[in-house]
Chain A
Amino acid sequence: MTDLLKSEWIKLRTVRVNYVLTIIAAAIPIVVVTLVAALSSRVQQTADDFAGGVTATLVLTALLLGVVGALNLTSEFSHGTIRVTFAAVPQRRNVLLAKAIVSLLATMVLATIIELVSFCIGAGILSGRGADIALRPSDKAAMASAVLLAGMLSVLGYGIGLLIRNSPATIAVLILWPLLLENLVRAVLSAAGVSNQTPWLPYQSAITMLNPSTDSGDPSRLHGALYLGTIVVVLVAVGIFVNERRDA
């Protein structure tokens, strides 16, 4: 398994598009947080909810890192390299698990670095402008949740890719899931008389993990993590099951 993890790590870091997407994923929160910290007219108010501001910008980062996770797999199918991979290691389950683990770990490490860099830059600017930055336990939980969300979206993209095996379609589903699919489900639930739809929506439930001050109607962080996490695990398990039996 160690050899497989090393091989997948080489694959991940030897393709330029992964670097481009990661740089964009890192630049978005860093630039936004820096601008907000530097230009905000209500400095102390911004500082009071600073962790929430950082985690909010990380949603797009998580989505982009999810795209990297998806491309890491689907590019193997589109370029035919999956046949080279499976010919080198016929135990497909091990290969696919190694790929998922590398995607998950790389994404979570990157998300952690991006989040910390964003926070430190913004906090430094706000402190320089005279504001006090205090990290409450709920802020820390929200920031940790942002890293977890990035990891889950990365593996979600991977799981969708396992089933669809096509890069554009996988990215479309990954992006349309939160933007379109869950809003459609929300509308259906609303029409069915469900007053609070968010707990039923896996992506939206997970997003609430990033909010340091959750409302009483919001699902808990544990609910968000378990709901989306379960879907991710099921998708990957089904994807591996199917790919062990399909022609490469």
Chain B
Amino acid sequence: MIEVHGLTKRFGRTVAVNHLSFDVRPGRVTGFLGPNGSGKSTTMRCMLALDRPDAGDTRFDGRAYGSLHRPLFEVGALLDAGYVHPGRSGRNHLRTVATSNGIGATRVDEVVALVGLTDVSRRRVRTYSLGMRQRLGLAAVLLGDPHTIILDEPANGLDPEGIRWIRDVLVHLAGQGKTVLVSSHLLSEMAQMADDLVVIGMGQLIDTSTVSDFVSKHARHWVRVRSPQVEVIAQQLRSRGATVTTLDVSGIEVVGVPAADIGELAARSGAILHELSPLQGSLEDAFLEATAGSQEYRSVAPTAPTATTGVAPGGAT
């Protein structure tokens, strides 16, 4: 169990994390979501006593991280796969970490095998791909078989097989009763592996709930209707104040009226229904909706240069 209470971290005048509180329950994968610059990594660093919070604290099963002796047996964390000396071999990197907590070389070789790096473990890390470094970082997390696991963007740089592998590993670990907190920008992956979500924006808590509740609460809901008499149905729905979008000659999408009501309305009108599908937006839709007011960096849709702009070769104008 992780308990974060009133965590606040400032960098000069910038408030990176603002009075953030949430709990992470054991036996579940909890996704930690937020737009770029929302304070996820800072929060994780504060939780692990790497950054000094200006206020608030974090408890791991009731204990502050700084008070843990041999914390690798209690909390395994991967904050950045790049935190490795490139001139050191992967195995030696793990040995330095393991030895500091009294963990022997046998366990190092076990976790190296577990993450599939046995063949390359004696190669220097500078020859590793980002995906291999992620696996190395995960090996370090697993060294002490901890009951709490914190991962910051663990799927970065992994190929599809690697992403599936890490998802399976995390779900398996949560299934063993471990507490798993994982941040990721891959929302489709998060939708598949997370049970709970903690969503933050601009350093503040936006929502914390189960994934299904979060999507129900924040994603758009609509009903797709297909009927040979679709215009009749559409007209009646518009008269009830519903938003109706025409898909094609026999299809509409309706926002604001439940599917059951549309079915009854169609029956009363004598319209035949070929499709009546209640639909819901994805986790990505829900996330974008929930964090719409908390995006620090906003992009705009790319536009083609106009004829008068005259972009020269090489990008110079």
Q: Which residues of A contact B (CB under 8 A)?
A: 3-4, 6-7, 10-11, 14-17, 75-76, 79-81, 83-91, 95, 245-248
Contact = CB atoms under 8 A, between A and B. Distances in A.
8 contacts: A14-B88, A17-B87, A75-B85, A83-B45, A83-B83, A89-B101, A90-B71, A95-B100
A206 B101 CA distance: 38
Contact of B49 (A15, A16, A90): A90
Interface in B35-93: 45, 48-52, 65-69, 71-72, 77, 79-80, 82-89, 92-93
Contact of B48 (A3, A17, A76, A87): A87
A189 to B, nearest CB: 40
A98 to B, nearest CB: 9
A15 B99 contact: no
A7 B82 CA distance: 20
Given A3-B101, A80-B80, A248-B51, A87 B96 contact: no
B95 interface: yes
Given A87-B50, A88-B72, A247-B50, A80 B99 contact: no
A80 B89 contact: no
A84 B102 CA distance: 15
A1 to B, nearest CB: 11
Task: Name the prevailing secondary structure of the A interface residues.
Answer: helix
A10 B94 CA distance: 10
Contacts of A7: 96-97, 99-100
Given A3-B102, A247-B51, A84 B87 contact: no
A87 to B, nearest CB: 5
Task: Report, as a range, how many residues of chain B touch the other chain.
Answer: 20 to 34
Contacts of A10: 92, 95-96, 99
Given A14-B89, A15-B85, A88 B50 contact: no
Contacts of A80: 80, 82-83
A88 B88 contact: no
A129 B251 CA distance: 106
A71 to B, nearest CB: 11
Contact of B45 (A75, A85, A248): A248
A84 B92 contact: no
B89 to A, nearest CB: 7
A44 B128 CA distance: 58
Interface centre among B51, B83, B84, B102, by most A CB within 10 Å?
A: B83
Contacts of B45: 83, 247-248
B100 A85 contact: yes
Given A10-B95, A87-B48, A3 B80 contact: no
A81 B97 CA distance: 10
A84 B77 CA distance: 9
Nearest to B49: A90
B140 interface: yes
A88 B97 contact: yes
B270 to A, nearest CB: 68
A15 B85 CA distance: 8
Contacts of A248: 45, 50-51
A85 to B, nearest CB: 7
A74 to B, nearest CB: 12
Given A87-B48, A248-B45, A81 B100 contact: no
B153 to A, nearest CB: 14
A232 B224 CA distance: 75
Contacts of B80: 80, 83
A12 to B, nearest CB: 10
A10 B89 CA distance: 11
B205 to A, nearest CB: 22
Nearest to A3: B102
A90 B68 contact: yes
Given A14-B88, A87-B77, A247-B45, 20 more contacts: A3-B99, A3-B100, A7-B96, A7-B97, A11-B88, A15-B85, A16-B87, A79-B84, A81-B93, A83-B80, A84-B84, A87-B48, A87-B71, A88-B97, A88-B101, A89-B101, A90-B67, A246-B52, A247-B50, A247-B51
- A84, A89, A91 — most chain B CB neighbours (10 Å): A84
